[in-house]
Structure 1
């Protein structure tokens, strides 16, 4: 690994992690609060839980400059006595989901009747499936979130576990457009083409305007270089940088499961 990489792309990757890490720390704190809230409850109910979830996420959703546009708790099917399917999810003032005017934080109006035509089984979605399988935090996206934002979104979720069983997830949504705004000063003036990708190689943002958000970055050797990143995500560890056959460097952005590709 060259000295230029150590002082260049690696330093930028660390700055990208510094942007994302506070969101991870926030969600970890929510997880601990929810587990402490739910552990003593013999028969938890949505009617009692929802105000606690709102109180937990409201301060961050209201905070000026927050990256988060939506946050809350999603219950495992059948866990809550009065709501077999339940999303206790709140949207920020900066989330005009489906044209709703911004008027402070508001509850996501999710369809919870499995017999309804517009019902969506959230346990089939990546942000649920991966944490359920791994028992660890997961970053999903960028993807177009038709459930909560109708726009390119990154979602971070982590399991809430009681007595060894996953009873739900806590998490947060971030608009990719907002992330791009925050990361742009970090990426500019690097003298190289820089692209931030997720562990599957999908583009989050790039200094190359021809690289679209959500598209796969197709570089020789990139899937193999990212494979350790996917494996490390469940363990919360950081993998080593890799040089691709064409000379591009793939540098993990801490333990965020994002990587910086510097060409």
Structure 2
């Protein structure tokens, strides 16, 4: 059901979308570059074979993501490419992922841009099958971009994180994913002043109803917002359908989609 929502709320939703959209566009650009490279120049550049290798791929990924990771004021804290198992002939399981100086994963903040040290041996006790994780599973199933989180990312950040990933396809097959991590604390820093302008108790949620940021201190980041009818109202966002109209919940709350980010504002009376 479509409802009338204060113009300010719709404006806030657009501003939230305008904050996330550049990250989407950046990832899409990285995807396009990698699809071109993996279909041509990177295919066996060192070995003379027709198969791409990690040795030739990694410098290209590093060059793509490093400028944004080192940019002052960036929203992202990690970025890179995760290969489909077996796609790279010299690395059956491979994460070409870099961390910014603001990333506290490991011993703490490190001012240097650095490579994520990931365990790639399936026989190791520390190995993590990344194809079982939401940021891989959903885009692998849908073939489209996906926003995962907030969740505690024990693989790359060890903190509440939002991960955005999109498939990279070569020859009609999924070669892997390109994506980025954003600290939820950084998103809150940017988005909360905007959300507060609504003049109502207001919570930003993902397509599963998990809280990204809220003006209500009782609503904890990462927790599910439990309101009658909310799960149903968010169903189109989970299905990657772009929704423009606000909907009302039985309790009188309004759900305002934030463009095609898969996020939504929930305004309470």
TM-score above 0.5, yes or no? yes
What secondary structure, in the 3-state scheme, does the structure 2 residue paired with 1:88 have?
A: strand
- Say whether 1:139 aligns with 2:147: yes
1:1-263 to 2 correspondence within 5 Å?
A: 5-40=5-40, 41=43, 42-231=50-239, 233=240, 237-263=242-268
**Any unmatched runs of 5+ in structure 2?**
44-49
2:46 aligned residue: none
| Contact 2:3 2:248 (8 Å CA) reproduced | no
> Structure 2: how far apart are the matches of 1:114 and 1:2?
51
SS of the residue 1:10 aligns to = helix
Quote the offset at 1:254 in angstroms.
Answer: 0.3
Partner Cα distance (1:100, 1:207) in 2: 29
Write the distance in 2 (CA, Å) between the matches of 1:138 and 1:201: 15
Decide whether the 8 Å contact of 1:196 with 1:205 is kept in 2: yes
Task: Report the TM-score, using the length of structure 1 for normalisation.
Answer: 0.96
Please list the CA deviations of residues 173-211 of structure 1 after superposition, one character each: whole Å capped at 9, or x if unmatched.
000000000002201242201100000000001000010
Q: Is the 8 A contact 1:93 1:104 kept in 2?
A: yes
SS of residue paired to 2:179: strand
Q: Distance in 2 between matches of 1:109 and 1:245?
A: 48
**Residues 101, 182 of structure 1: alpha-carbon distance in 2 compared, 3 angstrom cutoff:** closer
Which whole-Å CA distance do the structure 2 matches of 1:142 and 1:178 have between them?
A: 12
Structure 1 stretches of at least 4 aligned residues deviating more than 4 Å after TM superposition: none
1:228–1:239 contact (8 Å) kept in structure 2: no
CA shift, 1:2, in A, is 5.8
Contact 1:75 1:85 in 2 (8 A): yes
Tell me if structure 1 keeps the 8 A contact 2:3–2:245. Answer: no
Q: TM-score, normalised by structure 2?
A: 0.94
